[in-house]
Amino acid sequence: MSITEFLTASVFQYFLVFARVGGAIAFLPGFGEGYVAVRARLVFALFFTLVLFPMLRDSVPPTPTHPTALGLLVLGEVTIGVFFGLICRVLLMAALAAGMVIALQIGIANAFTNDPTTAQQGAVTGNFLVAAAVVLIFATGLDHVTLRALVGTYGVFPVGEMPNLGDMADMFTRIAGDSFLLALQMTAPFLVYGLIVQVGMGLLARLMPTLQVFFVIMPLQLLVGFGLMSVTVSASLIWLLNVYQDRLSPFLN
């Protein structure tokens, strides 16, 4: 093999690894946030691919001779990378959904702030929980676990083999269901609290029709709601991190 052929094959294999890594980095929690510069994400993906390339080079097939085969190979790698990144992103969005439910139950659903992850308006509590979850992912080393799981996708989805879209859709559906269940588990105390408040407001309105129930209950609802949040937020975030790590475990084996 000539030097030109060697370099050509190496460049192709490098960018084939980058196709999967770059697709995942675009959505991974912390790495793919909207407030992270695109160039920073690109540079990190390129350097991370450079680190992985010597370990994965033997598993990467040579350059296909037909353009169609080349396109399908690159498309498959990008699909796997985006699929893995979206799994992690959907799990993190449980914190956003939980924050929106909490805001509704304690009476601050109309207090919006700019969500840096989606560049849209979102509930204050939702943005807080997402930001806290991202910080804890890096503080507890789960960012390293996420990157290890990304490398582990090469054992689950070998390079050159088109992934089974049916199995991927089934797994993504289960992850979405787990994320919704996780959001409900994180907000269970607030759902009970909101039910009690609403029932109490209804009884007061029936017993004293002339009483402005909303203005009487609102300060108490906010006070107790924030107190309940201060007590339960740490346990909720720890539970989120445990579920996040557990769902990544199939890629770590």
pLDDT tens profile 139-156: 999 999 999 999 989 888
Q: Which position has the token pair 């509704």?
A: 104
Average pLDDT, the chain: 84
| Positions of the chain with pLDDT lower than 50, given as ranges | 1, 5-6
| Exposure string for 27-45, b = 16+ CB within 10 A, e = fewer | bbbbbbbeeeeeeebeeeb
Burial class (CB within 10 angstroms; exposed 0-12, middle 13-18, buried 19+) of 70: middle
209 token code pair: 């029709």
What's the gap between Cα 30 and its chain centre?
9
* Structure token digits, residue 86: 């979206």
Q: What is the pTM of this model?
A: 0.85
Residues of the domain holding 243: 3-251
Q: What is the dihedral of CA 76, 82, 84, 86, to 10 degrees?
A: -150
Q: What is the number of domains present in the chain?
A: 1
Q: Exposed, middle or buried: residue 157 (CB in 10 Å: 0-12, 13-18, 19+)?
A: buried
Widest distance between CA atoms in the chain: 91
Predicted local confidence at residue 24, as pLDDT: 92
Res 218: pLDDT: 81
Q: Which of 78, 77, 89 has the alpha carbon at shortest distance from 172?
A: 89
Cα–Cα nearest to 214, from 224, 204, 228, 206:
204
44-66 pLDDT per residue, tens = 999 999 888 888 887 777 777 77
Find how far residue 229's CA is from the centre of its chain.
22
In angstroms, rounded to a whole number, what is the distance separating the alpha carbons of residues 48 and 182? 31
Cα 158 to Cα 85: distance, rounded to the nearest angstrom: 17
